[in-house]
Amino acid sequence: MPVLYLVIPCYNEEAVLPETVKQLTEKLRAMQADGLIGPASRMLLVDDGSKDKTWTLIERFSAENTFVSGLKLAHNRGHQNALMAGLMTAKDKADCVISLDADLQDDIGVLDDFMVKFNEGCDVVYGVRNKRETDTFFKRTTAQGFYRFMKALGVDVVYNHADYRLMSRRALEALSEYREVNLFLRGIVPLIGYRSDYVYYDRHERFAGESKYPLKKMISFALDGITSFSVKPLKMISSLGILVSLLSVIGLLYALVSHFCGFTVVGWTAIVSSIWLLGGIQLLCIGVVGGYIGKIYSEVKARPRYRIEALVKHGNPAADQEN
């Protein structure tokens, strides 16, 4: 029976943690009874440098509840880093992990579905939200706009998938090879490329406490996602430069005509045409520099170049032994 670890980043979650642990304990117990997971399965609560009583609670739960383990980060490093710390800790102990939020927004009723897909041989199972009704109109539209923009930039992200996800041990091994500092797991995991599937669920309201993702963090997370996965914005500068340079030629002609027809004051033509032309050339040059920076950026990340999924040998195994 596979050992499952639930990895849960927690930042100032004292209000919600007792209920989360209670519900997840019941769930894990039921899954064990159903023969879906092995006896060593548990939840790993990662305290992301909380300032409230989160860690005290985690210590207490782990003392009295065999299903609870805790991991404490020295500082608040943000959701993605806390998640990564949990995943990398669970990697050597579990056959598979499922990451979820501490606030019970991710429906734990579908945990069984994740395990069924895992038992069918999937290495990654993405939790995808059916609807986003529980989100505010603003969050819903900005999030959808973001997914579309990422797709337009050629980045492979799963639509309406947050970080509710199952990963097998070998998917975690693969993930550990991505050494980038600015983590955007939703973009990295699809790059791993092993067999994957989806589980659909309804996202609930936060059970208690407040969102730890204010607008500022959300914007910086979205920008991280874009700049960590695409150099298209850099390339766009070149295209913009070419466009402005071409437009400047039209502007130049207009300025010259105005000059010779005597519509303008003295000096305007030279000033205006040099602004247009130089603006275009400058953008073009920045674009060229951007092209090289883009190359440095992908080299510095040193992502693994390929991953071998399986190895097959020609002929039957017996023939191999004869050689």
Q: Residue 93 touches which of Mg ion, ligand UDP, none (CB < 5 to 8 A by kind)?
A: none
Would you count residue 212 as binding ligand UDP (CB under 6 A)? yes
Minimum CB–partner distance for residue 267 and Mg ion (Å): 60
Write the binding mask 65 to 104 for Mg ion: x where contact by CB under 5 A, - elsewhere: ------------------------------------x-x-
Q: Residue 212 touches which of ligand UDP, Mg ion, none (CB < 5 to 8 A by kind)?
A: ligand UDP
Write the binding mask 105 to 144 for Mg ion: x where contact by CB under 5 A, - elsewhere: x---------------------------------------
Query: What burial class does residue 228 get, using C-beta atoms within 10 Å of its C-beta: 0-12 exposed, 13-18 middle, 19+ buried?
Result: middle
* Structure tokens given for 91: 């990697």
Minimum CB–partner distance for residue 21 and Mg ion (Å): 16
Minimum CB–partner distance for residue 105 and Mg ion (Å): 4
Q: Residue 106 touches which of ligand UDP, Mg ion, none (CB < 5 to 8 A by kind)?
A: none
Residue with smaller CB distance to Mg ion, 40 or 208 = 208
Among 41, 69, 105, 269, binds ligand UDP (CB under 6 A): 105
Contact (CB, 8 A) for 124 and 166:
yes
Running DSSP on this structure, what letter comes out for residue 120?
A: T
Query: What burial class does residue 25 get, using C-beta atoms within 10 Å of its C-beta: 0-12 exposed, 13-18 middle, 19+ buried?
Result: middle
Contact (CB, 8 A) for 6 and 202:
no
Q: CA 46, CA 54: separation in Å to the nearest integer?
A: 10
Residue of 286, 277, 269 lying closest to 244 (CA atoms): 277
* Structure tokens given for 236: 């766009």
Minimum CB–partner distance for residue 224 and Mg ion (Å): 18
Among 36, 91, 101, 110, binds ligand UDP (CB under 6 A): 101
Task: Name the amino acid, one letter, at 196.
Answer: S
Residue of 46, 52, 50 lying closest to 20 (CA atoms): 46
Write the binding mask 48 to 87 for ligand UDP: x where contact by CB under 6 A, - elsewhere: x---------------------------x-xx--x-----
How big is the CA angle at 202 (ends 40 and 184), to the nearest 5 degrees?
70
Q: CA 22, CA 16: separation in Å to the nearest integer?
A: 10
Among 14, 103, 107, 123, binds ligand UDP (CB under 6 A): 103
Q: CA 180, CA 283: separation in Å to the nearest integer?
A: 29
Q: CA 307, CA 98: separation in Å to the nearest integer?
A: 22
Minimum CB–partner distance for residue 213 and Mg ion (Å): 7
Name the helix (H) or strand (E) containing 106.
none
Residue of 120, 89, 93 lying closest to 3 (CA atoms): 93
Q: Residue 213 touches which of ligand UDP, Mg ion, none (CB < 5 to 8 A by kind)?
A: ligand UDP
Minimum CB–partner distance for residue 112 and ligand UDP (Å): 21
Residue with smaller CB distance to ligand UDP, 13 or 107 = 13
Contact (CB, 8 A) for 5 and 94:
yes
Q: Which residues from 237-276 bind Mg ion, rule CB under 5 A?
A: none
3-state secondary structure of 163: strand
Q: Residue 129 touches which of Mg ion, ligand UDP, none (CB < 5 to 8 A by kind)?
A: none
Minimum CB–partner distance for residue 158 and ligand UDP (Å): 16
Q: Which residues bind ligand UDP (CB under 6 A)?
A: 9-11, 13, 48, 76, 78-79, 82, 101-103, 105, 206, 211-213
Site residues for Mg ion per CB under 5 A: 101, 103, 105
